[in-house]
Structure 1
Amino acid sequence: MHIPVFHVDAFTDRAFRGNPAAVCFLDFWLDDALLGKVARENNLPATAFLVPSVTGYALRWFSPVCELKLCGHATLVAAFVLFHFVSPQLDEVVFSTRFRGDLRVQKGGDLLAMEFPALAATSCAPTPELLFAVAPSVTTGDILQTFAGNQTYVVLLASQAQVQSFQPDIARLETLHPEVVVITAPGDEVDFVSRYFAPGYGLPEDWVTGSSHCLLAPIWAERLGKPTLKARQLSARGGEMTCELRGDRVMLQGKAVATLKGSLTL
């Protein structure tokens, strides 16, 4: 069996930046164990698997460690491959997913716009476990506000410099599993910046995380008093997107660049 496979960098207009993902096109679903092996073989933060459906494509995401319930950058990458290599006549695709229902992606020039659910996060006091996980780089006095939702802690700091200089202790962060940690602050050149840590899911630090912006966009839209926001993730590779809050949905806009096209033999 030969499976078409693509590698694409998401949320960037330059190769070897942003967040890479693989896309594999299947005629039918393979068993989950084999999907996991393919994701480990790709050895990227996420692999998107697509199977044709009545409304478009069924979509699932796997990291090298486990299946993911929501993955923004791999959704962007899947749509990019469809629009540029498989069905260039399309300007919209609907992906049906196991955990988040239908996700719509539209093409507008070199930008792709994904319609994702807006995820709720509740303001809360930082737990002792969270304070342990972000120490010693971040202390109680550094934290302006903490939010929790969707198995994610969001830690709000005062400045971009604090986010950039954060030195994660991955072993400490992994003690929070299944919760993950996002640290965020106002940006110097954009509305907000962030970093994302999910070591329990095989992502010690994710390079650019679309799904985390489903939480961050409502927080920053309320804080800044505007629905459309420019965001930058301050990982080693870095990436940018535009977030637009529309009621209970978030539009995430970004670019992508293909780096590999081939086939995987099973």
Structure 2
Amino acid sequence: MKQKIYQIDAFASDLFKGNPAAVCVMDEWLPDDIMQSIAEENNLAETAFTVLENGSYTLRWFTPETEVDLCGHATLATAYVLFNYYDHQENTIRFYSPRSGELIVTNAGSGLISLDFPTDEIAKIESVSAINQAIGQSPLETFKGKTDYMLVYGSQKEIESLNPNYFLLDQIDCRGVIATAPGDEVDFVSRFFAPKCGIPEDPVTGSAHTTMTPYWSKKLGKEILSAKQLSHRGGDLKCEDLGNRVKISGRAVPYLVGEIEL
């Protein structure tokens, strides 16, 4: 059996930037252990699997170690594949995630693809000493979302200088830790660390912007914001606070089209 696979650089305007994701568009579901093995073999932050069911695409995401609830960059990559390789005629794709519900993706024109995701619900908490020790620098504020912690700092320079202890971070009971601050040339910047998912530092994390966008929208008094993730590869995003939803937009660049031998 042969399975087509695509590798797409998401939230990028140029090759070798943004966050690479693998995408498999399938006629029917493979066993979970096979999908997990494919993701492990790919060794990318995320591999997305999708099947057309009842008029919409059911979508699931796997890191090299586990299935996750939500992934922005791999959703953008999947939409790019469907728009460009599967002749999807409409400007909108309705995905259904068994873990996150309906996800709407739109071809916004000029190369932009927009994700319509549910807003993360966050609560301000006391600073967590174990996280601060792992990150190496205490934040101004700490928040807890559905799956991640968000640490707010005062400057882009502080975010750039973070050098986490990944062994200690791996002991924290969460999907990942977001570090964010006001940007020098954009509204806000961030980095995202998720060693528990097998991703020490994620290049660009679309789902983390469902946590950050409402915070910075309120903080800066703006509904539409520009964002940059300060990983080695880097990523650029346009974010819009829609209340209980967040619109996250970016570009994508194809890197690879191939086949898996199963």
* TM-score band w.r.t. shorter chain: over 0.9
Aligned to 2:242: 246
CA distance in 2, matches of 1:223, 1:157: 13
TM-score (norm 2): 0.97
CA distance in 1, matches of 2:147, 2:102: 21
Q: Relative to structure 1, is the Cα distance of residues 260 and 179 closer, same or farther in structure 2, using a 3 angstrom cutoff?
A: closer
CA distance in 2, matches of 1:179, 1:81: 27
TM-score (norm 1): 0.96
Which deviates more, 64-73 or 49-58?
49-58
2:82 is the alignment partner of 1:86: no
CA distance in 1, matches of 2:168, 2:158: 19
Which deviates more, 123-132 or 231-240?
123-132
Aligned to 1:17: 17
Aligned to 2:74: 74
1:90 CA drift (Å): 2.7
1:96 CA drift (Å): 0.8
1:57-68 aligned at under 5 Å gives the runs 57-68=57-68
Which amino acid in structure 2 is aligned with residue 38 of structure 1? I
Aligned to 2:174: 178
Which amino acid in structure 2 is aligned with residue 232 of structure 1? K
Aligned to 1:161: 157
Structure 1 residue ranges (4+ consecutive) displaced by more than 6 angstroms after TM superposition: none
User: Unaligned regions of 5+ residues in structure 2, if any?
Assistant: none
Q: Deviations over 1:187-215 (max 9, x none)?
A: 00000000000100011000000000000
CA distance in 2, matches of 1:187, 1:66: 32
CA distance in 1, matches of 2:243, 2:181: 23
CA distance in 2, matches of 1:14, 1:21: 15
SS in 2 for 1:7: strand
1:179 CA drift (Å): 4.5
**Contact kept in structure 2, 1:133 and 1:175, CA below 8 Å:** no
* Identity across matched positions, percent: 43
Aligned to 1:133: 134
1:55 CA drift (Å): 2.5
CA distance in 1, matches of 2:98, 2:51: 13
SS in 1 for 2:131: helix
Aligned to 1:231: 227
Which amino acid in structure 2 is aligned with residue 224 of structure 1? L
Which amino acid in structure 2 is aligned with residue 129 of structure 1? A
2:218 is the alignment partner of 1:217: no
Which amino acid in structure 2 is aligned with residue 87 of structure 1? D
CA distance in 1, matches of 2:88, 2:130: 48
**Contact kept in structure 1, 2:175 and 2:197, CA below 8 Å:** no
SS in 2 for 1:153: strand
1:247 CA drift (Å): 1.6
Which amino acid in structure 2 is aligned with residue 70 of structure 1? L
Q: Relative to structure 1, is the Cα distance of residues 117 and 231 closer, same or farther in structure 2, using a 3 angstrom cutoff?
A: same
User: Unaligned regions of 5+ residues in structure 1, if any?
Assistant: none
1:30 CA drift (Å): 1.1
Which deviates more, 213-222 or 86-95?
86-95
1:129 CA drift (Å): 1.9
Q: Deviations over 1:6-58 (max 9, x none)?
A: 00000011001100000011111111101101111211110000111112211
**Contact kept in structure 2, 1:152 and 1:181, CA below 8 Å:** yes
CA distance in 2, matches of 1:69, 1:151: 9
**Number of corresponding residues:** 261
SS in 1 for 2:79: helix
CA distance in 2, matches of 1:58, 1:3: 17
**Contact kept in structure 2, 1:5 and 1:261, CA below 8 Å:** yes
Q: Deviations over 1:122-156 (max 9, x none)?
A: 11211222222222xx13xxx22111111311111
**Contact kept in structure 1, 2:149 and 2:174, CA below 8 Å:** no
2:150 is the alignment partner of 1:149: no
